[in-house]
Amino acid sequence: MKIIIINGPNLNLLGKREPEIYGNSSFENYFSELQFRFKEVQLEYFQSNIEGEIISKLQEVGFSYDGVVLNAAAYTHTSVGIGDAVKAIETPVVEVHISNTFKREDYRHISYISPVAKGVILGFGLLGYELAIRSFLKD
Ligand code: DQA
């Protein structure tokens, strides 16, 4: 089972960025915990602040991996291109958000990914990534 977590812009600052919303843990720390917890999964992590790099990564993994866990961060609300890439690939994508975007500004209520995602998990902090991985394991 091969699963990749793809994080979008500013998520490289987790642990430092608005900790009251996003928590105190860096993603690298949390990723090591996930690798420990899911030893049976070949788990990869990719982060980019650049929209096109996220699209290229989706294309690269999207015909061979078993699952993509995607937090496209701010691009969720703006990127037709990432939405199109998710639609174009064969690998199922679970959309994750650390915060409950529906509790926040109106512009965060729109997602170009939700209509083409397998499922959406939001508002559970970093636990959302673990839930997304579990959702692939049950298939
Ligand atoms: C986010 C929510 C987005 O609205 C925001 O732009 C982010 C992070 C989240 O995980 O809660 O950068 O995707």
Annotated active-site residue 75? The verdict is no
Residue pair 113/121 in contact (Cβ under 8 Å)? The answer is no
pLDDT average per 10 residues of sequence, the chain (139 residues): 98 89 88 96 98 98 98 98 98 98 97 98 97 93
Domain carrying residue 37: 2-137
Ligand 1 mean position to 101 CA, how many Å?
7
Total structural domains in the chain? 1
DSSP state of 92: -
CATH (domain of 129):
3.40.50.9100
Which structure tokens are listed for 92?
A: 């199922």
Ligand 1 mean position to 13 CA, how many Å?
12
Check whether 10 is labelled as a binding-site residue. Answer: no
What pTM does this model have? 0.97
Q: Which atom of ligand 1 is nearest to the CA of 72?
A: 13
